[in-house]
Amino acid sequence: DEVTEVLAHRGEDLQDKFVEVPCSEDYDSHKRFEGCTPRKCGRGVTDAVITREEAERIRRIAERGLSLGGSDGGASILDLHSGALSLGKHFVNLYRYFEDKIQDIFTEEDFALYRDVRHRIQQRIAQAFGISSTSMYLTKPTFFSKINNTEAKTTHDEYWHPHVDKVTYGSFDYTSLLYLSDYTEDFGGGRFVFMDAGSNKTVEPRAGRVSFFTSGSENLHRVEKVHWGTRYAITISFTCNPDHGIGDPVLT
């Protein structure tokens, strides 16, 4: 269970770090899309796509939205696409619940920044895996997460279990995480851990850092329990199947 290698230290400023790993067979049980479905698999980390200032602005969007709700347990989510917001032990639809007041919470500039950040991450993933960014589609769920050390109250709060995104969400082909807070400064624990046979490799969150990877079993992973403070991140995921694509969120 020990971390044996740190892929990205919080104090590092990484331009681009990429590690190729053999692809799993998970993609074979889904329809393949040439020029997109992974044939090259791996994981990357970069601090050169999103600035810290942009990450702070994105975090403020998350804080405003999540302040309207929040899980009774330690893990809250906000999905600007579907409107899903943790509230107590359940979820509500942010847009239905707050209706016209939503314009007081978010601005068009917020959503424009969100779109721009998503676009840049998409381009970076495409570049790393040698595919066209136009063959990738945003897919659900894509969401903000806020994690603290409050005891879990429901299974939705148990974020720390090892999992495979392609198995959990069949549409996922490429997963990315944009970190919005700093390991050891804003929170303790909460590192991202790739679980490889015989060794674990971790990414230490840093505001503005993007971690991305192919979504199959070659990248089994988990998040350590947060021991203190609050960890903010946004998960942005992509599919090769246009039927599973979603549009950017819009402020209506």
* pLDDT band for position 4 (cuts 50, 70, 90): confident
Which one, of 147, 167, 165, 169, lies nearest residue 156 by Cα? 147
Q: Does the pLDDT of residue 105 top 70, yes or no?
A: yes
Residue 1's pLDDT band (cuts 50, 70, 90): low
- Would residue 231 show up in a list of annotated catalytic residues for this protein? yes
Report, as an integer, the average pLDDT of 65-79. Answer: 92
pLDDT at position 80 over 80: yes
The pLDDT score that the predictor gives to residue 198 is 84
Domains of the chain as residue ranges with CATH: 4-243 (2.60.120.620)
Q: Predicted confidence band at 252 (pLDDT cuts at 50, 70, 90)?
A: low
pLDDT tens per residue, range 145-169:
999 999 999 988 999 999 999 999 9
Gap between the Cα atoms of 140 and 94, Å rounded: 16
| Furthest C-alpha separation in the chain | 53
Q: What is the pLDDT of residue 102?
A: 85
154-166: burial string, b at 16+ Cβ within 10 Å, e else: eebbebbeeebbb
Q: What is the pLDDT of residue 156?
A: 85
Question: At 230, is the pLDDT very low, low, confident or very high (cuts 50, 70, 90)?
Answer: very high
pLDDT at 108: 93
Give the mean model confidence (pLDDT) for residues 227-236: 98
Query: Amino acid identity, residue 81?
Result: H
The pLDDT confidence band at residue 103, using thresholds 50, 70 and 90, is confident
pLDDT for 95 beyond 80: yes
Mean pLDDT, the chain, as a whole number? 94
- pLDDT score of 100: 79
pLDDT value for 166: 96
Q: Do 3 and 201 meet the contact criterion of CB atoms below 8 Å apart? A: yes
Residue type, 106: F
Return the closest-CA partner of residue 210 out of 44, 78, 13.
44
Share of the chain above pLDDT 70, in %: 99
> What is the pLDDT averaged over residues 3-12?
92
SS3 150: coil
Q: How many residues belong to the chain?
A: 252
Residue 243 confidence (pLDDT): 97
pTM: 0.96
- Of 43, 191, 206, 231, the active-site residue reads 231
Q: What is the mean pLDDT of residues 204-228?
A: 97
How far apart CA 11 and CA 149 sit, in angstroms, is 23
Listed range (62-66, 180-184, 195-199) with the worst mean pLDDT: 195-199
Q: What is the pLDDT of residue 193?
A: 96
Mean pLDDT to the nearest integer, 197-226: 96
- Rounded-to-integer distance, Cα 229 and Cα 56, Å: 16
CB 225 within 8 A of CB 148: no
